Structure 1
Amino acid sequence: MDDSHPFPDEFSPVGSSYYYAIRFSPRRLRSRLALAAALYLAIRRIPVQCADPAVAQEKLAWWREELNRSHRGEAAHPVARRYPQLLSSLGLSEDYADSFLSRVEWEITPTIPADWVAVENHARDTTGFLTELLTRIGGGSNDQLRVAQELGCFLHHVEVLRNLGRDLRTKRCYVPLEEQRRFGLAPADLLGLKTRSELDQMLRERAKALESRYRQISAVSTTSALGPVVRLSAIAAVLLQELSREGIDLLRQHTSLTPVRKFWAAWRHR
């Protein structure tokens, strides 16, 4: 494969979580890891970047066709042009991203998931798509691919928690109905940021459950092929600690880590 994709690039700039996750990987892998992250982020960010669902649908449709064109050697976008080489080097089929694309389409006009099983399935086809691809690039075994999926789900759940306030303000909600009912809440309570004590309890309990999940997964994960995924998860675990302390306040702000904190979290798993 022609490892010509730049690193860092606009999707893994210096100071970002993706930069540090990839930077501590072997030099020979960085270009392909950056390419995988670029493909994922270019598509995954469409529902957030496009306020108009019609525009988002049009942009996603363009990416679908661009990936199809890439397999015919007709793609225009540099990420799409290099994508077939990546798939070929890993022995993956042309439809590898189909489930991922379908899940992103759901996010453009989402409905509230019924339960955590639905959220988990969504996580496996979105963030899990990326973590599995990164691990394949590193030569991961089947066991490591399973761990990568678990870490991908963890990353997704932390992302949902961190972005909950932003998503609610744009009429999106990824907290399942069963969880809302367990705390005596309804979608209107979340969208209106009402019933403070119940919301605060739900958010703190969710953060605690995610911290426990991370400890269990990290106990069986090793760096090697999982390197960039382990580092992304380590950074997310530090972020989760901040979110856990904030409780309901996280609904009114968008918490981020400084580049220095990201660096140290990733460095410990280099």
Structure 2
Amino acid sequence: MPPLLQPPHHSIQVNFDEYCQQKAAPPGSSSYYALRQAPAGRQPLLTALFALRREFEETVKETSDPAIGRTKLAWWQNEIAALAAGTPSHPVSKALAAHLGGGVEAAYPALQTLLAGFEMDLDQARYLDYPNLRRYLQSVGGTFAALVARASAQHPAEAEAWAAPLGHALMLAQLVAELGNDARHGRIYIPIDEMQRFNVTAADLINRKYSEAFTELMRFQTGRARAAIQAALAALPAGERRTQRTLRAQAALALAQLDEIERDGYHVLHQRIALTPIRKLWIAWRAARQR
């Protein structure tokens, strides 16, 4: 196998559940605390899904050469097909095969959509307007949340309708928190027309230029993300609230992080504003137990 077609991580002999845990949810991370709220029997599958998303994300966002990124994504496309055929080789896809069981075939289209969503990062670094950005948010955030929701939902066939909007909203919050890092890597997810409306340029973001205009832009972005999360939580069916502890914990953590960003004056261009592990633990635990 040529070097560029090697799997992104090929220490295949490691325990696949341990690999997924290290990849998706290292201790102290928001994912760690959100995943711990899930029923014990569902945690391995959910952790594998989070690990797969992280693999895709690293492939496109931590690869400087787009050609290499495309080669790695092509490898993952083949690996997802191998998962569907029952012959996975990567620790994450082995974990998915083990924990999805007979559900692999049903999950296959969503896994393809998720991968295609991340592929957009290799094709597009700017978005003209919000409808244009929405395609990305739906492909990545909405699809992933639907996969997570179906893993433990009472009515999996209905999960996408209420889970996808929450995933979309969580992506909006993530883009606010990661704005500075994304800009440094040449990706700006704030729509061009919105930046023009607030008189903020791409150069301002890349050069970490704070201003009143930037503050107003971020107030708008943060407000939209917060409202979207709250609306999606309100639409969560009452009968699914207990089954969706991981997504609810993620939502609570995202809202708390947005509040922290707001309190800090939206200084996200030179740093990533994060919650402390003890706050994450408390917020996730409390959110998962609210009725």
TM-score, normalised with respect to structure 2? 0.83
CA distance in 2, matches of 1:140, 1:183: 44
Aligned partner of 1:80 in structure 2 is: 93
- Note if contact 1:75-1:81 (Cα within 8 Å) is conserved in structure 2: yes
CA distance in 1, matches of 2:265, 2:159: 33
* Residues 90-239 of structure 1 mapped to structure 2, 5 A cutoff: 92=106, 94-141=108-155, 144-194=159-209, 196-221=211-236, 222=238, 223-239=241-257
In structure 1, the gaps of 5 or more residues are: none
- Deviation, structure 1 residue 158: 0.9
- Deviation, structure 1 residue 62: 1.4
Size of the alignment, in residue pairs? 267
CA distance in 2, matches of 1:210, 1:197: 20
* Residues 42-61 of structure 1 mapped to structure 2, 5 A cutoff: 42-61=55-74
- Deviation, structure 1 residue 241: 0.6
SS of match in other structure, 1:268: helix
* Percent identical residues: 26
CA distance in 1, matches of 2:275, 2:50: 19
- Note if contact 1:90-1:137 (Cα within 8 Å) is conserved in structure 2: no
Aligned partner of 1:12 in structure 2 is: 25
Aligned partner of 1:41 in structure 2 is: 54
- Note if contact 2:21-2:51 (Cα within 8 Å) is conserved in structure 1: no
In structure 2, the gaps of 5 or more residues are: 1-15
- Deviation, structure 1 residue 247: 3.5
- Deviation, structure 1 residue 147: 2.4
- Note if contact 1:140-1:226 (Cα within 8 Å) is conserved in structure 2: no
- Deviation, structure 1 residue 90: 6.7
Q: CA RMSD in A?
A: 2.3
SS of match in other structure, 2:28: coil
SS of match in other structure, 1:174: coil
- Note if contact 2:130-2:191 (Cα within 8 Å) is conserved in structure 1: yes
Inter-CA distance 165–241: structure 2 relative to 1 (3 Å threshold):
same
SS of match in other structure, 1:184: coil
